[in-house]
Amino acid sequence: MFLRVHQGMDNKKIRKKSLLLLFTGNGKGKTTSALGLAFRAMGHGFPVCMIQFIKGSWRYGELETAKLFPTLFELRVMGRGFTWQSEDLDKDVAAAREAWAFAEKTIREGHCRLLILDELTYLLSYGMLDEQAVLTVLASRPENMHIVVTGRAATPGLIAAADLVTEMLDIKHPYAKGVMAQQGIEF
């Protein structure tokens, strides 16, 4: 730890940089961490856009909260539900590409200062999107746009490309004891 801090101090300081952040791992907290950053960024007046690539079946609280910040927080739910429940993979791939096209447009337009690509990792690990093409677009982000990617099973290429990678470690989850998803915590 000390070594890393020390090395950082030796390097030339970079005052401002658009970051690619990745929250991955099997533990809980990836999407909610990204939402925490949204809360922080909006406090500075930064417009935030969140694209959810996989549509869950819950009525997520954050979908309602987003409506309270109509000028600062844009939330787009794309995707068709979970692929492992799907009976039509072609339609899933088409939905994934459509969702990615929207993300690409958002990056190009450069309006938002924080862009959250929620559960994007799956589209790469399942090979629904071309990893290299995605990485190229992520790298083309404007100077004042941070991007957060969340999801389990991040591909090595994405990990290599990110400036910050945090792995949520599943030490304990109430689900293992048969506790159902709790309102306000899981959805």
Give the one entry of ligand ATP, Mg ion, none that residue 175 binds, where binding means its C-beta sits below a cut-off of 5 to 8 angstroms depending on kind. Answer: ligand ATP
Q: Which helix (H) or strand (E) holds 42?
A: helix 30-42
Write out the catalytic residue numbers.
Answer: 26, 28, 30-32, 40, 82, 84, 119
Structure-block tokens of residue 44: 């500075």
Between 140 and 183, name the residue whose CB sits nearer to Mg ion. Answer: 183
Between 104 and 186, name the residue whose CB sits nearer to ligand ATP. Answer: 186
- Helix, strand, coil shares of the chain as percentages rounded to 5? 40, 15, 45
Check binding of 27 to ligand ATP (CB under 6 A): yes
| Residues 6+ positions from 187 with CB-CB distance below 8 Å | 56, 58, 59, 60, 61, 181
Q: Count how many residues are written for the chain.
A: 187
Of 74, 104, 167, 186, which lies in the binding site for ligand ATP, with binding defined by CB under 6 A?
186
For residue 46, the minimal CB distance to ligand ATP (Å) is: 21
Of 21, 24, 25, 31, which lies in the binding site for Mg ion, with binding defined by CB under 5 A?
31
